Amino acid sequence: METVSENVCFDGVQGVYTHRSEVCACDMTFGLYLPPQAKSGPVPVLWYLSGLTCTHENAMTKSAAQGFAADAGLALVFPDTSPRGADVADDDAYDLGKGAGFYVNATQDPWTPHFRMWDYVSQELPELLGKEFAVDLDRQAITGHSMGGHGALTIAMAHPNRFASVSAFAPIANPSQSDWGRKQLSAYLGDDDAAWAKHDATRQMEAVGFDGPILIDQGGSDQFLDLLKPEALAHAMTTRRQNSVFRMQKGYDHSYFFVSTFIPDHIAFHADALGL
């Protein structure tokens, strides 16, 4: 692992690190904010999964999350959204290939050799963090925006008892029924709809639910509202009587102005679930 940068931030450290990923078969970069409490011992972890076209940097620099994390004593992890490198397959479209890993393990060519973001986020990167940094992996929560909200919800529901809580900002909530989903899931996983099920938050909510609290914020003026299909997830949570809060925020769009407005609520929500 190599240190790209480390900056003091709210008396903690905002770092950027690069390492060789065996899972993705390429170098991967991630951001990690360690609050000042990490100087005294391991701190709980909040994962932030980003959306289409993003790298580790977008949320790290635009979400304004570090100050609230410092107050709560939470580490923030900002993974990349896909494998990178000259040998990594790509597509001319912004919503497939680099920057659009969709948090799945690809089973179809040309994506199979590198596009294993599910295993990277849920297995390899946590193991690396536990070895190298003062983080407590027995106390984790997860959030994300758009494609990252999809990833946060599906990963949380697939790993019972790992995450104390999950939240999402404008998640791609029902990708099996959306052009933001059907295109990517068929490209990465093939045309068998059954293989898509665990990567659809609405279907997973119907099938297994989540063993902790959920918070969803959705902008009412989101330009991608028809692609996100939040009503499907809201209906599934209500039908399941899931411990959840769904908020439609009037006037807000899909941007980081929306995310930064409500990130304090989400960090407080996760801090409460983690007993901080």
Helix (H, G, I), strand (E, B) or coil at 43: strand
**For residue 77, what are its two tokens?**
């992890």
Residue 249 · residue 258 · CB < 8 Å: yes
Using alpha carbons, select from 136, 132, 133, 199 the residue that is nearest to residue 162. Answer: 136
Handedness of CA 142, 186, 209, 123 (dihedral sign): negative
DSSP letter for 93, please. S
Q: Which residue out of 56, 150, 254, 266 is catalytically annotated?
A: 254
- Tell me how many degrees the CA angle 88-153-79 measures, rounded to the nearest 5: 40
Contacts of 40 (CB under 8 A, 6+ apart): none
**221 CB neighbour count, 10 Å cutoff:** 12
DSSP letter for 145, please. B
> Does 254 qualify as catalytic in the annotation?
yes
**Segments in 90-158 forming alpha helices (H):** 117-119, 125-132, 147-158
> Does 146 qualify as catalytic in the annotation?
yes
Q: Which residue out of 222, 244, 266, 270 is catalytically annotated?
A: 222
Strand bridging mode 214-219 / 244-249: parallel
**For residue 243, what are its two tokens?**
């411990």
Q: Which residue out of 122, 146, 165, 178 is catalytically annotated?
A: 146
> Does 222 qualify as catalytic in the annotation?
yes
Q: What is the CA radius of gyration of the chain?
A: 17
Give the H/E segment covering residue 250.
none
What residues are labeled active site?
Answer: 146, 222, 254
